[in-house]
Amino acid sequence: MSKQKEKIVRVSVKDLKKMKGKTDWKKVDSITDEELEETVKNDIDDIYLTDKDLEKGEWIAKGEWAKKFNEPQKKEQITLRLDEDVLKYFRKSGRGYQTRINNALRAFVKAHENHHP
């Protein structure tokens, strides 16, 4: 897997204030709530959750704060083959991607645990 080179540019605060963004604010202001909601639903890079989904959900704490609220679970090391695009999706958000995969699987199990004996 080849890494793409990043182009990092340093800009002073003074220069940053002079820069103009490319956002079309008139277009943004003209979008209705219904159009925005539809756009969010169709965004392939995001997960759209309804109020009903959120009611079934579970907050997962992160960092030092999490140690106080999340009971540690015993982990078992396995070898798991995942589709390349699925793994890429989780890895692109950085460290902790294995935990996020585990959390996604846990959410699936909790959502379906009443469907199986």
Residue 78 belongs to some domain of the structure: yes
Over the stretch 42-56, which tens digit does the pLDDT of each residue have? 877 766 667 777 677
Residue 1 belongs to some domain of the structure: no
User: Dihedral of CA 62/63/65/71: which sign?
Assistant: positive
Owning domain of residue 110: 23-115
**pLDDT score for 70:** 54
Mind listing the pLDDT tens digit of every residue in the chain (117 residues)? 556 677 888 888 888 778 878 888 888 889 998 998 888 778 777 666 677 776 776 666 555 555 555 555 778 889 999 999 999 999 998 888 888 898 888 888 888 877 665
Q: In the structure encoding, which two tokens stand for residue 100, read together?
A: 């996020």
DSSP letter at 93? T
**pLDDT score for 106:** 83
Residue 11 belongs to some domain of the structure: no
Rounded-to-integer distance, Cα 52 and Cα 56, Å: 7
Residue 65 belongs to some domain of the structure: yes
